[in-house]
Structure 1
Amino acid sequence: MSDLRRQLEEAARSHRPDRARMLARIERARDLSAAGAEPRGARARRARPGWPRVALAAVAAVAVCAIGGTAVTSLVQQDPAAPQEVSTGALPKTSAPTPPLTGDSRPPPLPGQSRTTDGPLWADGSVAPDDNVHWAQSNVTLKTQETLTALTVELFVARTERLRSTGRWETRPTADFDLSVHERDGMLVYRWSLKSGRTVPAGTHVFAGQYDHASGGRDAGADVYRATATAASGTYEVHGDFARTT
């Protein structure tokens, strides 16, 4: 009995159903049934075989159903020429909406009302000379004569046609600052806020915002910046604007 089972299992594993032949036989049986005829050889199959043949036929049938049943059902029930319906369902969201960032609640300084020095601080705003007709970089240069224990630098780029942030950089270590880029009141705002426990040494430091804009250059006359800082001698603020293009 164990040899028979092994042979049956090997026969089931090696079986590869002929899809086209099975479909043809099923269709032929349908046609004969519809015509009231009995398939040829049906009478011969009525004879009762011995039990080994019955067992073999049963196992083979199970193997065929397990291996090719799904394919046969698909062939019988689906007409390749008929239109197929595919249920796609709703796509999963890749990420949750990011809430808008909020910066300093104070309004930006007004162009033309600059204060570029205050105590140990000095600042200047300029558009980098390597800008082009599609892209620009605005620099806020900050000089301090004392070590700063707190510092916030804000660059306000006025909204113009096709304005879009492309990045920012700073000469101080990025890990020392909380960074954000957001829109507020018609301005693209770049903000650097010194983290608690970090310091900025005496010297010259640059904070830059980069952006695309409409072709043909851009007027930076409405752009402004502001820097507030704390040193051992007190708290200070400088602010200013950028030169207009000619």
Structure 2
Amino acid sequence: MELLEAHFNTLDGNLIYDETANTYEMFSNKPGIHKHLNYLTFKTLFKEMEGVKNPHILESGIASAGTNSTYLFNEYVRKYGGFFWSVDINRSLVDNHKGNMCPATQLICDDSVSFFTNWSKSHDIANVIYLDSYDLDFYNPHPAGNHGLAEYKSLMPVIKQNTLLLIDDTPINPYWLDTRNSLYTDMCIYYFNNNNTMPGKGMFVLNEVKNADKILHNYQVLYKFYDTPVDVKTC
């Protein structure tokens, strides 16, 4: 976990850790350590990854901001072994970051659904999947939501027992939004009017994932599969 802690110590955020109470609170007025919004889900993910030898790690959306997850996964395979593929449709992101990667990492310029579909035909298992492509518009979430569902379906052949699936930008409720401006107010209204649901990249995946335990859900959602997914209908 040293690798994870070192990485997130370079990131700031509005998730406040109270060392005395050992609690985390968004936008707390109490003294504490500022953590990135996604710290808890990544911490749980990396704990679940312990003991997995030479994992196959897949990511959609090469990190250009936020958690810089591309660099975190790259350092993981460099230090502990395994293989890491990160795909993005933006050529400049691939070109800007590929020189910083270790030999076990491949950055690919392609549509993520297309790449995952082809990858699934030539590999048996994905141990870790992180979906973070297609920018989410909270006021028009369906394009990102549909893309996230298509990504998930394209990877179903390689999701097996103990596969870990992490999806970004899928808040369980407005509390986990990284803002308290008009978006927060609007999403509180949305949440109340839509049966306690939220827009998100994984909004359609939430009802489709089968044979998995939901380990943690705050701003991101993390699943661990206990069996191969059950087939779902194409939307």
Both structures adopt the same fold (TM-score exceeding 0.5): no
Q: Which has the higher helix share?
A: 2
Q: Which has the higher strand share?
A: 1
Greater length-normalized contact order (CA 8 Å, ≥ 6 residues apart): 1
Instruction: Point out the structure with max Rg over C-alpha.
Output: 1
Where on the TM-score scale, by shorter chain, does this alignment land: which range? under 0.3
Q: TM (normalized to structure 1)?
A: 0.21
